[in-house]
Amino acid sequence: MAHYLFPRITRSAIAAIFGAILCCSAASAQNASRPNVVLIMTDDQGYGDLGVHGNPIIRTPSIDTLAAKAAVLPNFYVSPVCTPTRACLMTGRYNYRTRAIDTFRGRAMMDTAEVTVAELLQKAGFATGIFGKWHLGDCYPMRPTDQGFSMSLVHRGGGIGQPSDPPGAEDKYTNPVLFRNGQAEQTQGYCTDVYFSEAMKWADGARSEGKPFFVYLPTNCPHGPFGDVPPAEYAYYKQQQISTGKFAKQDGNPIPRNMDSDTQARVYAMIENVDQNVGRLMKWLEEKKLAENTLVIFMTDNGRATPGYNAGLRGNKSTIYEGGLRSPFFAYWPGTLRPGVASDRITAHIDITPTILQICGVTPPADLKVDGRSLWPLLKGLRIAWPERTLFAQGHRGDEPVLYHNFAARNQKWKLVSATGFGSEGLPPSGPKFELFDMESDSFEQHDVSAQHPEIVAKLKGEYEAWFKDVSSTRPDNYAPPAIIVGSQHEKTTVLTRQDWRGAGWAPTDEGHWLIDVVADSPRDIKIIAAPADAQRKLTLRIGSLEATFTLPAKATEHVFARQLLPTGKQKLEAWLETDGQRTGVRFVEIAAPR
């Protein structure tokens, strides 16, 4: 039996829940055929970006239908931004345990000692496939294929339209260049259509091999940039002239007046296209007679990114108010899960790995400490003890969390919030500003009652402090950034992108360096790719004790430092261009064995 870590519950409560889990495991063991799991997670889709959540304009009939037939958890929480949610989702652990702290600057890479749900399913004989956005590391040993996925079709970085786009394929949501098990591939079609089509095709193959499948479908839509969106859907929403006045008066926080009609049309167009694909998937499950043996989960990774309709929730992506953290959660499994609200208990992304493992009858290693709980008893409506717990969320830029900076602590009734913003600078000079909300009577977080309930504030603050200390001491060097391994037989060409560099930012004028761990014992060719310039520039490459320079002619964008014997071990790799005393970083560094 797994040694799940249940936060802040009594021993007898743990015994009660283990009893329930054992009982359920026995029941599922009787079911001879193991279920398939399809986990769909969209990117930056807000809680209000669904018809079923009261949005009168957006067209999401397929997701609405799925929701109507699904077991629903209305109090399901994620992290305020992309990478933290993905780390929690894949491990069942709070992301501060995993080194995946931020979304870029080398902090969206997850420690490879982490055990992912895909690794455990793969070991248990499942076919495991990811189609879309990984965002936990693009290089060995952090790629999906290094972390339990037998099939991987992904873009790099945190989205298409970021500095990790392959040269020549910048910003292309249509016909994107994706990476199939690490190899660049020109695909045809809109990115979301490609992910779903490839996922269904691949799952068909897994079935023909007699394997149950785990399909992870994290779409990069509707994340920005918003330039390349499905044209017919965009035209429809453009015509709708989306603005505050188009929405009926609602409960909760007012609809923002500063919403941009065109941006909303683009976001809605991408979501409608996701919805069409969910419809295609549902139809495919029916046609292949898979629906009754497949659990489909639909969720999003954080709140909406732009001002717009948010079902009355407060705040957006990157905030620790509900608009940043609350996600739809629909679990569709006809014949097994009853439609309707399954439970109002608070639940979170950290619960998904233990849930999937239990449903699939996979026992995790005894020493694996998981922060989440299996949601199976809630989804099934089993009458068992479900001990009170407190969930935590924190989000910010930078390498390390700062105590009290932009966090929320939520139990069933109360939510303590310190909304100090997403910046890396930490707390403002005035310190944290604690707000307390009664989530049973004020789920829209409009009435701070901290002054009336100092004892609740103190209790939640204490729980948060204990949690912060615990997750921050998972490893001795808990928040040290991971290093990319260079020269391993597992990755023939290492491509270093601005996604993972340790720079102040990733703009064309920025500079940065990469943390690498060289294991190569023979020379390597090091290809530098830079943005073009009108003047010639001095190019410098420095890897530990190795330094090489070259004069890059005007207009040139590439140079290969051939047959370089790299110093081994952990170190910095720097490459920069100089002209008139001005230094800028390069776009890519590719390291490969000489041809």
Q: What is the smallest separation between the CB atom of 305 and Ca ion, expressed in angstroms?
A: 7
- Min. distance of Cβ 518 from Ca ion in angstroms? 33
Q: How far is the CB of 135 from Ca ion (least distance, A)?
A: 8
Distance (Å, whole) CA 131 – CA 413: 37
Of 203-211, 230-238, 297-305, 440-448: span binding Ca ion (CB under 5 A)? 297-305
Half-sphere exposure at residue 300, Cβ-oriented, CA atoms within 13 angstroms: 30
SS (H, E, C) 169-212: CCCCCECCEEEECCEEEECCCEHHHHHHHHHHHHHHHHHHCCCC
Helix axes 261-287, 191-208, angle to 10 degrees: 20
Residues 558, 577 contacting (CB under 8 angstroms): no
**For residue 282, how many other CB atoms are within 10 A of its CB?**
18
> Which residue number, 291 or 305, has a Cβ lying nearer to Ca ion?
305
Of 508, 553, 498, 556, residue with least CA distance to 532: 556
Q: In this complex, which beta carbon is closest to Ca ion, that of residue 81 or of residue 486? A: 81
Q: Which of 385, 330, 384, 336 is nearest to 352 (CA)?
A: 330
Nearer to Ca ion, 43 or 322 (CB): 43
- Between 82 and 127, name the residue whose CB sits nearer to Ca ion: 82
- Tell me the closest approach of the beta carbon of residue 483 to Ca ion, in angstroms: 25
**Cross-strand partners of 151:** 129
| Strand boundaries in 277-354, DSSP class E | 294-300, 326-327, 330-332, 340-341, 347-348
Q: CB of 139 within 8 A of CB of 157?
A: no
Considering the complex, state which of residue 73 and residue 221 has its C-beta at the smaller distance from Ca ion: 221
Whichever of 89 and 215 has its CB closer to Ca ion, that residue is 89
CB of 264 to Ca ion, least distance (A): 17
Cα–Cα distance, 349 to 344 (Å, whole number): 15
Complex with Ca ion: residue 323 or 377, whichever CB lies closer: 323
Shortest Å distance, C-beta 372 to Ca ion: 20
User: Smaller CB distance to Ca ion: residue 284 or 422?
Assistant: 422
* Size of residue set near Ca ion by CB under 5 A: 5
Q: Give the nearest distance from C-beta 573 to Ca ion in angstroms.
A: 29
Q: State the nearest-atom distance from the C-beta of 327 to Ca ion, in Å.
A: 11
Q: How far is the CB of 43 from Ca ion (least distance, A)?
A: 4
Nearest to 77 by CA among 302, 256, 286: 302
Minimum distance from CB of 134 to Ca ion (Å)? Answer: 13
For the chain, percent helix, then strand, then coil, each to nearest 5? 25, 25, 50
> What is the phi-psi region of residue 258: left when phi exceeds 0, alpha when psi lies from -120 to 50, beta otherwise?
alpha
3-class SS letters over 465-508 = HHHHHHHHCCCCCCCCCCCEEECCCCCCEEEEECCCCCCCCCCC
Determine the interface stretch with Ca ion among 298-306, 337-345, 453-461, 548-556 (rule: CB under 5 A): 298-306
Q: Of residues 304-343, which lie at the interface with Ca ion (CB under 5 A)? A: none
Task: Determine which residue in the list 116, 128, 302, 411 makes contact with Ca ion, applying CB under 5 A.
Answer: 302
Quote the least distance from Cβ 82 to Ca ion, whole Å: 4
Minimum CB separation of residue 89 from Ca ion in Å reads 12
- Identify the three-state secondary structure at position 148: coil
Whichever of 49 and 301 has its CB closer to Ca ion, that residue is 301
Contact (Cβ atoms closer than 8 angstroms) between residue 363 and residue 120: no
User: Tell me, what amino acid is at 399?
Assistant: D
Q: What is the DSSP string of 280-292?
A: HHHHHHHHTT-GG
Decide if residue 301 touches Ca ion (CB under 5 A). Answer: yes
Q: How far is the CB of 396 from Ca ion (least distance, A)?
A: 15
The smaller minimum CB distance to Ca ion, of residues 162 and 302, is found at: 302
DSSP secondary structure string for all residues of 417-479: EE---S-TT-S-TT---EEEEETTT-TT-----TTT-HHHHHHHHHHHHHHHHHHHTSSTTTT
By beta-carbon proximity to Ca ion, the closer residue of 83 and 355 is 83
Residues in the chain: 595
Residue of minimal Cβ distance to Ca ion: 82
Per-residue binder mask for Ca ion (CB under 5 A), 65-104, x = binder: -----------------x----------------------
Question: For residue 158, which amino acid is it?
Answer: G
Site map (CB under 5 A) of Ca ion, residues 104-143, x = contact: ----------------------------------------
Nearest to 389 by CA among 368, 377, 371: 371
Task: Output 108 or 194, the one with its CB closest to Ca ion.
Answer: 108
Q: Rank residues 165 and 301 by Cβ distance to Ca ion and give the closer one.
A: 301
Select 268 or 588, whichever has its Cβ closest to Ca ion. 268
Least distance in Å: CB of 387 to Ca ion?
31
What is the identity of the amino acid at 260?
D
Chain residues 23-62 in contact with Ca ion, contact rule CB under 5 A: 43-44
Angle, helix 61-69 to helix 261-287, in steps of 10 degrees: 50
Q: Contact residues for Ca ion (CB under 5 A)?
A: 43-44, 82, 301-302
